[in-house]
Amino acid sequence: MCPGGTMPQCGGRRYGARTLLLAGLALACGVAGAAGSLMAIDLGSEYLKVCLVKPGRTPISVVVNEMSRRKSPALVGLLPDGERVLGEEAYSLAIRYPGSIFGGIRDLLGRSAGSAASTRAVALHGLRGTLEDHPSRRTAAVRVNETDAFLVEELVVRSIAALQS
């Protein structure tokens, strides 16, 4: 408090009643707006996990996939007929189409095709396809055939999109 006892003091600054009222109102609105749900995604090199944080009795719940598992394979498949397969389905088709299923692509995000980290990630995860740099973005793209090349970011987004269903 100030020597006069009328205005609160914080860190050497004096704040009037109107400022404190507005700050309290903003804080109350922020707390009231936090009543919604939040989805958290754990994007790993091999698996994806999703968790819902919501108000109520059990605030955190782990979401299960279509196979009733808590974690889904972080795989994206681009089959020769143009079909796109994701997660568990891509995992089951990896034996049949080894050159069309991509895993461990998270480790290539934001890296150029010729970087040492990209070379290590390709060796570690056995990534099929040819890595090349995108002409304007200078980040890695995976060439799956003569006509199609996909940015690593596109493939990661496709694996995350599988979580929506």
pLDDT, tens digit, 9 for 90 and up, residues 2-53? 455 554 444 445 556 566 555 655 555 554 445 678 888 888 888 989 888 8
Residue 67 lies in a domain: yes
Among 157, 141, 101, residue whose Cα is nearest residue 125: 101
Place of tokens 């009643």: 17
Instruction: Report the alpha-carbon distance of residue 21 to residue 11 in Å, rounded.
Output: 18
Residue 89 lies in a domain: yes
What are the Cα distances from residue 124, in Å, to 43, 103, 108, 120, 128?
17, 10, 12, 6, 12
Query: Residue 112 belongs to what domain range?
Result: 38-164
What mean pLDDT is predicted for residues 45-70? 85
Residue 68 lies in a domain: yes
In this prediction, residue 145 has a pLDDT band, given cuts at 50, 70 and 90, of: confident
What mean pLDDT is predicted for residues 51-57? 83
Size of the chain, expressed as the number of residues it contains = 165
Residue 33 lies in a domain: no
| Tokens, residue 122 | 């390709």
Q: What is the CATH number of the domain that holds 110?
A: 3.30.420.40
Residue 148 lies in a domain: yes
Residue 81 has pLDDT above 60, yes or no: yes
Query: What is the per-residue pLDDT for 19?
Result: 61
**Number of folded domains that form the chain:** 1
Residue 28 lies in a domain: no
pLDDT, tens digit, 9 for 90 and up, residues 120-143? 988 888 887 788 998 888 899 988
